[in-house]
Structure 1
Amino acid sequence: MSDIVNKIKSIEKLYQAKGCSFKQLKDAQNELGLSFPEEFVDYVKAYGAISFYGTEWTGLNVEGYLNVVQVTKQEKELNSSFPVNCFVLENQGIDGLIVICNEEGQVFSLQYDKLEKIHDSISDYLTECLSRAK
């Protein structure tokens, strides 16, 4: 198991959904036609989806803009530049800026057709998100 669950556990004032089941996880991957990286799998199995310090990550066991399947499918419909092997981790809600993750766990910012790698892992991105609160 990755270390991301312990990092999330240490967040004060964490809001979370209920962790997802193996079936929900497999159904989501099948619907999106990709495999989630280990850190994302560990995170959604433990927490479903999370919100903290103005940061909201997509996940499972939630509906609407935080549901990883719904928001990823919507972004793929709206943006022809959305990479095939990626899913939405966070919608910044600012000028079309979203944070996406690929099957290897690398994290990118995507704004319309501008794609930029910002972190090697979801855990590294979590560290950045936590630093925003300081």
Structure 2
Amino acid sequence: MKSIIEKIKKIDKLYHVKGCTTSQVKEAQSELGLEFPEEFIDYVKEYGAISFYGTEWTGLNVNGYLNVVEATKQEREFNSEFPTDCFVLENQAIDGLITAVNNSGNVFTIQYNKKIPLCDSISEYLDICIARKK
């Protein structure tokens, strides 16, 4: 098991949908014109999309704002500065604040035309999200 999966398993009161298939991942990547990092693929194959402690991560096997394809396409439509090599992991729903991830798995805070490095991996960002409970 991957470390991100082990971390997610330990979250109390975790809500998630059904995990997705490899073909669903490939279809989503094709629609967005990018490749997801391995951690994101591991996560969506196991959990689909998750919610915990006021945190909602995008994923697959879910419709609407939590669907990674829909959320990313919408952000690209609303924000012409949104990087094409990134996808939406979490929409903070505060003043256009988006948590995005690039092909390499680096996590950024994006707000309109500002792109600020946040973490080197999704797993590292997960630690920040888990700490919100405290």
Task: Give the structure-2-normalised TM-score.
Answer: 0.99
Name segments (4+ residues, structure 1) moved above 6 Å: none
In structure 2, distance between residues paired with 1:2 and 1:118:
21
* Structure 1 vs Structure 2 CA RMSD: 0.6
Structure 1: gaps (5+ residues): none
Q: Residue 50 of structure 1 corresponds to which residue in structure 2?
A: 50
Q: Residue 123 of structure 1 corresponds to which residue in structure 2?
A: 123
Contact 1:2 1:38 in 2 (8 A): no
Aligned length: 134
Structure 2: gaps (5+ residues): none
Shift of 1:40: 0.1
Q: Residue 34 of structure 2 corresponds to which residue in structure 1?
A: 34
AA of the residue aligned to 1:88: V
Shift of 1:129: 0.3
Kindly indicate whether residue 62 of structure 2 is the aligned counterpart of residue 62 of structure 1. yes
Shift of 1:46: 0.1
Deviations 1:21-42 (A, max 9, x none): 1111110000000000000000
Shift of 1:131: 0.5
In structure 2, distance between residues paired with 1:73 and 1:51:
21
AA of the residue aligned to 2:39: E
